Structure 1
Amino acid sequence: MPLMLSLTDSSVHVILLGAAGVIISHNVAYYRPSADAMKFGYVGLLSFALAILWVCLSRWILVTTYPENSEYLNWLNNAIPIHAFVGWMTISGTGFRSQMWYDAVDQQKDQKRKEDTQKIVKDAELFKLRQQLQPHFLFNSLNSINALIMLRPKEAREMVLKLSDFLRGSLKQEDDHWITLEEELKYLQLYLDIEKVRFGHRLSTNVVREESTQKLLMPPMLLQPVVENAIKFGLYDTTGEIVISIRSWLEGQLLYISIENPFDSESSLPNKGTGFGLSSIQRRLYLLFARQDLLETKSANGIFTTIIKVPQTNDKSSNN
């Protein structure tokens, strides 16, 4: 076969075969049956039709170009079955690869939509949990202020100012903005100052923290509900003084924070009465870290202990 004839034959077949591949690729991009069996059948039939069209169109162009070359035309006619089979395999292979690629793209988009939806739901639930904590705390504080107004107006004013500072700080906190343990403890101190106005000398705190934990990151407003729970079970059922101990340390990639408070084992059941505060913290930790083992409670020898574990991952952002 002459060189020019060979080049023409190859060019016509390759160009038209490429066009058939583009056609089937674009076709499966816009229409793919939902059932897997129908997908394979659809691509198989479409590629077969395109292969026949490719053979016919290529033959027509070449016959029109070389109408008097009987030897070449005879060879071209004999090669039709081979061309049809090769064309079908090539076009169907392109179609199946395109179909799998577009299916993978669709799955990634679906997964992204699911993740976005789950994030919206998670953020909404986190926001709801934190908003539920505020009325609970406000209810107790306002009741205390109401009780102090007539008896100790100076302390009532002091408590209003501290409550204002506490609420102003809470408005700035968001679950997706992490803060250091040092910042969390400063914020917690505002809450404790409010409670000390309520309970006076009966409430004392002892904070022990390792120096290495000062700058470790954690979700904001995580400790206040725990301390509120400690005050509830430590002071409400007793008449004496209590000390709430707060301790932090680092083990591996976990920041440990323990809160201990004494309780009267005869008048309270702290292991059952963890209340909304601790359950909300456990839910927040699960939503943030997808782990159920980050909150522990135990009681022994008249001491109730709550332990919070905060994973130190690398995808946190601080307000600083």
Structure 2
Amino acid sequence: MKSYQSFLLFWLLPFIIFIPVIVLDNNYSFWSVLNSKITFFTLIYFAIISFTNVRITRYLESFRFKEKNKILLSSLSCFVFVFIFSIGFQLIYQKKINLFPPFFQGLVAIGVFLIEYLMVRLFNNEKESNLDFSFSKFFYVKLLLFVFFVDFLFIFLLTFDTFINLKLLDYYDHIKFFIPYLISVVILSFFGILFTNKLKINTVIKVVLVSIFTFLILQIFNIVKYRFHFGLVLNFFMISLFSTCMIYGLLYYFKQKKSIGKLKLQNIQKDAQYQELKNQINPHFLFNNLNTLISFIEVNPTKAIDFGHNLANVYRYYLKKQEEDFVFLKDELLFIKEYLEIYKAKFENGFNFSISDEFDSNQYILSSSIQELIDNIFKHNCLDEDNPIKINISIENSFLIISNTLTSKLTTNSNNLGLDNINKRYEILTNSSIIVSKEENRFNVKLPILNLK
């Protein structure tokens, strides 16, 4: 849609809705409404909001701001423009300034701007209109409570002039009918979006249809129960539209966030797999271990047999778990024991290790995480028989602790890429983080242990 078409649509559509509201609610004639000062104010008011949406927002895109920063700056611009206009309007027609109306008119303008912004985004992303409803029930409860809170805040801003002139209980009596109405709007909008999710129609049309359906159902309910005037009820259409847009926009945002998280995880997993292949299964690693095996065969056949078994078991485990995100803690610790035995056969008294056997059968750990930490220990420390590294793997509460004494290499600089990689994988897959601490002569890493059903 071209810029001028978007501007006209978002400028005239609210105005077209607004005119019959005034006519029906106040019993004015159509021509008297057109000639009134409130009509002039409304025309400029929605023109400012539409201009901000179409021009200011697109202008900010050229600076490559983050999405949330762009929305924040555009909303602030909308508020400032409306605030200045409203003060000027007061000076022209009332010859005095009261800052409360411009302030709250500016806040309401932000709400209208966000509706328009969401409509534009949904229109531009109509090819990806199907939403993801695979989140937990608690997630949807939190989402609907948030939308209800925002709707209630919107109502409060619209009725703030009443609030400052009434006692709290009197104000509650004045707006108490809004509470069941807002709850109904939020619930009906959500289920309307859920039921229309698979329909192959334009996203904006889908949102408008859900808004109209919600509005009509609640209009009938409210006319019967509260005997609202039709003009007052028509005001609630904007609330229905706002709620539907907000629910749809939030669901779309979390769908995109989930997709981005999957892509990040795939990239991290590919990097980890590549690093694992490069460090462990590449010809250089295999060549070194085969040479070690041959040397053991010549001088100590019994040790060669043990070394060969450990090496075979390590590679067998690689092949078995390479596609898995999580592995049994029990299996991983058995693997690490054999992995350390390979190092032990080569470096003998350069290090000592102990591994706890106090674990539950249903405990899991992130695949390859322990092995990556063990590799880091040997990469960043000296192996000295006079001062051997002490490696301890133990369990404390819900963490597996990999701890080692420090005998740092003077020429080795660490960029912590390995630790960052493990932490990012944990954050994406489990929303938890590893804990890294360094004491005077000891380095500790805590890996969260998972109990997966």
> Hey, what does 1:295 align to over in structure 2?
435
> Hey, what does 2:42 align to over in structure 1?
none
One of 358, 375, 381 as aligned partner of 1:228: 375
Q: Distance in 2 between matches of 1:148 and 1:311?
A: 35
> Hey, what does 1:120 align to over in structure 2?
262
- Residue 172 of structure 1 deviates from its aligned partner by 4.5
Q: Which amino acid aligns with 1:229?
A: N
Q: Distance in 1 between matches of 2:316 and 2:351?
A: 20
Would you tell me which structure has more strand in proportion to its own residues?
Answer: 1
Q: Distance in 2 between matches of 1:192 and 1:227?
A: 8
2:282 paired with 1:147 = no
Q: Which amino acid aligns with 1:136?
A: N
> Hey, what does 1:238 align to over in structure 2?
384
> Hey, what does 2:199 align to over in structure 1?
none
- Asked whether the equivalents of residues 329 and 359 of structure 2 are also in contact (C-alpha less than 8 Å), the reply is no
> Hey, what does 1:188 align to over in structure 2?
336
Structure 1: which 5+ runs fail to align?
A: 1-32, 54-84
- Asked whether the equivalents of residues 188 and 223 of structure 1 are also in contact (C-alpha less than 8 Å), the reply is yes
One of 275, 279, 282 as aligned partner of 1:133: 275
Q: Distance in 1 between matches of 2:11 and 2:348?
A: 78
> Hey, what does 1:45 align to over in structure 2?
16
Secondary structure in structure 2 of the residue aligned to 1:173 = coil
> Hey, what does 1:62 align to over in structure 2?
none
List aligned pairs for 1:1-320, cutoff 5 A: 42-46=13-17, 48=19, 86-93=229-236, 95-134=237-276, 135-139=278-282, 141-148=285-292, 150-152=294-296, 155=304, 157-158=308-309, 160-174=311-325, 178-200=326-348, 202-208=350-356, 211=358, 215-234=362-381, 236-239=382-385, 242-250=389-397, 254-263=398-407, 267-268=409-410, 272-273=413-414, 276-289=417-430, 294-300=434-440, 303-310=441-448, 317=452
Task: Let me know the Cα RMSD of the aligned residues.
Answer: 3.9
Secondary structure in structure 1 of the residue aligned to 2:253 = helix
1:231-265 per-residue CA deviation (whole Å, 9 max, x = no partner) reads 3344x542555442222211xxx4241321452x5
Q: Distance in 2 between matches of 1:164 and 1:249?
A: 29
Would you tell me which structure has more helix in proportion to its own residues?
Answer: 2
Structure 2: which 5+ runs fail to align?
A: 25-227
Q: Which amino acid aligns with 2:312?
A: L
- Residue 224 of structure 1 deviates from its aligned partner by 0.8
TM-score (norm 2): 0.43
User: For residues 124 and 280 of structure 1, do their structure 2 counterparts lie closer, same or farther at Cα, with a shift above 3 Å needed?
Assistant: same
> Hey, what does 1:6 align to over in structure 2?
none
User: For residues 99 and 202 of structure 1, do their structure 2 counterparts lie closer, same or farther at Cα, with a shift above 3 Å needed?
Assistant: same
- Residue 186 of structure 1 deviates from its aligned partner by 1.9
- Residue 96 of structure 1 deviates from its aligned partner by 1.4
Q: Which amino acid aligns with 1:170?
A: K
Q: Which amino acid aligns with 2:263?
A: V
TM-score (norm 1): 0.58
Q: Distance in 2 between matches of 1:244 and 1:199?
A: 14
User: For residues 269 and 283 of structure 1, do their structure 2 counterparts lie closer, same or farther at Cα, with a shift above 3 Å needed?
Assistant: farther
- Asked whether the equivalents of residues 227 and 259 of structure 1 are also in contact (C-alpha less than 8 Å), the reply is no
Q: Distance in 2 between matches of 1:167 and 1:269?
A: 31
How many percent identity over aligned positions? Answer: 13
1:179-199 per-residue CA deviation (whole Å, 9 max, x = no partner) reads 443233123223223333433
Secondary structure in structure 1 of the residue aligned to 2:344 = helix
Secondary structure in structure 1 of the residue aligned to 2:356 = strand
- Asked whether the equivalents of residues 351 and 385 of structure 2 are also in contact (C-alpha less than 8 Å), the reply is no
Secondary structure in structure 2 of the residue aligned to 1:296 = strand
Q: Distance in 2 between matches of 1:45 and 1:230?
A: 70
- Asked whether the equivalents of residues 255 and 309 of structure 1 are also in contact (C-alpha less than 8 Å), the reply is yes
User: For residues 231 and 46 of structure 1, do their structure 2 counterparts lie closer, same or farther at Cα, with a shift above 3 Å needed?
Assistant: same
1:41-100 per-residue CA deviation (whole Å, 9 max, x = no partner) reads 5144146469989xxxxxxxxxxxxxxxxxxxxxxxxxxxxxxx944433343x313312
User: For residues 278 and 108 of structure 1, do their structure 2 counterparts lie closer, same or farther at Cα, with a shift above 3 Å needed?
Assistant: closer
Secondary structure in structure 2 of the residue aligned to 1:164 = helix
Q: Distance in 1 between matches of 2:349 and 2:380?
A: 17
- Residue 223 of structure 1 deviates from its aligned partner by 0.9
Secondary structure in structure 2 of the residue aligned to 1:223 = helix
Q: Which amino acid aligns with 1:42?
A: L
Q: Which amino acid aligns with 1:161?
A: A
Q: Which amino acid aligns with 2:275?
A: L
